[in-house]
Amino acid sequence: MSVLSVPIAIIGAGLAGLACADRLMQAGLEVRLFDKGRGPGGRLSTRRSDRFQFDHGCQFLTARDPDFQGRMARWLDDGVAARWTVPVVRLHPGGLVEDSPGERFVGVPGMNAPIHALADGLPVQWGLRVAAVEPGRDGWRLTAEDGRDLGCYQQVVIAVPAPQAVPLLAGAPDLASRAAMAHMAHCWAVMLAFEDRIDVAWDAAFVAAAGGEGRPLSWLARNSSKPGRPPAESWVLHAAPTWSDVHSELASDAVLARLLPAFQTLTGARAAPVHAVAHRWRYALPTAPLGDGCLWKPQAGLGACGDWCLEARAEAAWVSGRRLAQAMLAPAPERPL
């Protein structure tokens, strides 16, 4: 059998897994992807409800890496991404409001649109959680959560958040223990909608010195100010990683009861929301990314990628996926005789 006909299994079809798949396929390799999500997105996620829409995960994309800039240019041309050019500020304790300029991009019509575009035409099985990657006679045997045998693969890429990658990397304990070093914080996200526009001079704000009880929010954004969104007034709030970690087991009603007043304090809004939902991201952002780029063990044919390998930004997930593909495509190192 030709080497090129042996598929590579990729667990996780978020930005990292798809970036890796895209590069491997460009090189003529065959891939097969598995993702537990119902559809494309991962943490680039969009929720729709009635006349409102919320990007409750990733808020905006940066594009500093040249390869990612090239992909962003394609997404802009294809209309699945756009620049988000609204006033963004940093709110300091004591009331100082400072501009926070920067080039920011969003998916259109939702943050998951670029992921949809990337996944289009790729062999992804959605709604399938891989529970185990175990050594078999013909490579790594993948087993689904419901016990289904997903086949054997010579090479496996694990492109899921670090804590979820650790058990899947059990066959390569050195990689598993490296992945275990990348802590990922929770994030409580709140989706709010209002009948009328909230009268505040900016559309998004980073909150400086956030994390304590008095300042739980680290970010708030008028979601409806993003291009291509429904016009109904909608906001997304994110609690700071420290606050979210401390309150990870709080009921969502209790979270709303604490974060809504924080939003009102920061914006001066008094109107009651007509829609209010809290969502907990269990593995939101790496607070201690590894900085390794990716993990790859050529002798084992096992590797991992994701933002946690590099930096807490979506762009880093792309770069990590690309780096892993490059490492897999590099000629095998000569073995000593």
Ligand X SMILES: Cc1cc2nc3c(=O)[nH]c(=O)nc-3n(C[C@H](O)[C@H](O)[C@H](O)COP(=O)(O)OP(=O)(O)OC[C@H]3O[C@@H](n4cnc5c(N)ncnc54)[C@H](O)[C@@H]3O)c2cc1C
Q: Is the dihedral of CA 50, 51, 55, 56 positive or negative?
A: negative
* Residue 174 burial by Cβ neighbours in a 10 Å radius (0-12, 13-18, 19+): exposed
For residue 179, is it left (φ>0), alpha (ψ between -120 and 50) or beta? alpha
Cβ proximity to ligand X: between 60 and 235 the closer is: 60
Site for ligand X in 267-296 (CB under 6 A): 281, 284-285
Quote the crossing angle between the two packed helices 314-329 and 15-26, to the nearest 10°. 30
Q: Which residues pair with 89 in a beta bridge?
A: 99, 205
Which one of 31, 88, 118, 159 is in contact with ligand X (CB under 6 A)? 159
Which one of 22, 23, 32, 43 is in contact with ligand X (CB under 6 A)? 43
Peptide bond before 231: cis, by omega within 30 degrees of 0? no
Q: Which listed range, 9-17, 79-87, 261-269, 295-303, lies at the site for ligand X (CB under 6 A)?
A: 9-17
Which one of 46, 53, 59, 155 is in contact with ligand X (CB under 6 A)? 59
Q: Is the dihedral of CA 326, 305, 62, 80 positive or negative?
A: positive
Residue 61: which of 48, 44, 46 has the closest Cα? 44
Give min distance, CB of 196 to ligand X, in A: 26
Give min distance, CB of 153 to ligand X, in A: 14
The contact mask relative to ligand X for 109-148 (x = CB under 6 A, - = no) is: --------------------xx------------------
The residue sitting closest to ligand X, measured at its beta carbon, is 14
Q: Is 89 in the site for ligand X (CB under 6 A)?
A: no
The contact mask relative to ligand X for 224-263 (x = CB under 6 A, - = no) is: --------------x-------------------------
What lies within 8 Å, CB to CB, of 161 at 6+ separation is: 184, 283, 306, 308
β-strand pairing of 105-107 with 124-125: unpaired
Q: Is 71 in the site for ligand X (CB under 6 A)?
A: no
Which one of 187, 255, 302, 324 is in contact with ligand X (CB under 6 A)? 187
What lies within 8 Å, CB to CB, of 215 at 6+ separation is: 93, 207, 209, 240, 262
Cβ proximity to ligand X: between 1 and 260 the closer is: 260
Q: Is 17 in the site for ligand X (CB under 6 A)?
A: yes
Residue 122: which of 4, 6, 19 has the closest Cα? 19
Cβ proximity to ligand X: between 164 and 225 the closer is: 164
Q: Is 12 in the site for ligand X (CB under 6 A)?
A: yes
Q: Which residues bind ligand X (CB under 6 A)?
A: 11-17, 34-37, 42-44, 57-62, 129-130, 159-161, 164, 187, 189, 238, 281, 284-285, 306-307, 313-315, 317
